[in-house]
Amino acid sequence: MMILNPKEELEIYLTQIGLKPACLLGRCLTKKGIVRKDRVSFPEEGRELLKNIGKPFCERANIYHGEMMLNFYVGRNEKFLDRLVNANTDPELGLALGYPLDATESFLKSIEGEVRTWEYVYNQIRKTIGTNIPIPDWIAYISHVPAYFDLVNGIVSESSKMQGEFYESYVRRNNPRLAERVLKIERLSWEKLAK
């Protein structure tokens, strides 16, 4: 069976219950051009899993940075699935996935000398570790790069914070086991950043 990590489970859950319009699951099927044997069964297992979810989905294979990717697009309904599948730019993709407008507009742009990618978020977490400033749990519940995420100076995108806090509150109340798994894996990743 296709094994999902807790963040992927979260994305499917939020889409399934209607809090997100769509989500995207992907697997790199090759490594340096060689087929990864541990990923060979992904297409069949992925289709079976998504059939059981009961939401519209489609799959596409593409080449990303020279590697073969298989992506599953899942929509809350056909309209949202079409919007996701037909997104042609990063901002369109972000909006189709339900990301805040400021996050979609700032993605891959340099703001105050820092390009808005996941590396920006990781760098900000590294800066925060070792201070007395806690890393907020809500960051575990978003799957986008906030336009601003400077915890040390207290400059955080309000839209990302609101979305993360809303998702966190909902999942903690309605699916506490998933909430626990999501936080556990995120906290482990934060600990790795500290090393």
Q: What is the pLDDT of residues 66-94, one digit of tens each?
A: 777 778 888 999 999 999 999 988 899 99
pLDDT at 72: 84
Neighbour order of strands in the sheet with 22-28: 22-28, 67-75, 57-64
Residues 6+ apart with CB under 8 A from 97: 20, 21, 22, 23, 24, 84, 143, 144
Cα dihedral 78→102→89→20 (10° resolution): -20
CA distance 1 to 79: 29
- Percentage of the chain beyond pLDDT 70 is 86
pTM assigned to the model: 0.86
CA distance 104 to 147: 8
Tokens coding 57: 């989905």
- pLDDT, average across residues 101-126: 93
pLDDT band of residue 1 (cuts 50, 70, 90) is: very low
Contact 25, 75 (CB under 8 A): no
Contact 94, 104 (CB under 8 A): yes
- Quote the distance between the C-alpha of residue 86 and its chain's center: 19
pLDDT band of residue 37 (cuts 50, 70, 90) is: low
Contact 1, 49 (CB under 8 A): yes
Q: Is it the case that residue 19 has pLDDT exceeding 70?
A: yes
pLDDT at 71: 82
- What is the sign of the dihedral through the CA atoms of 168, 170, 172 and 176? negative
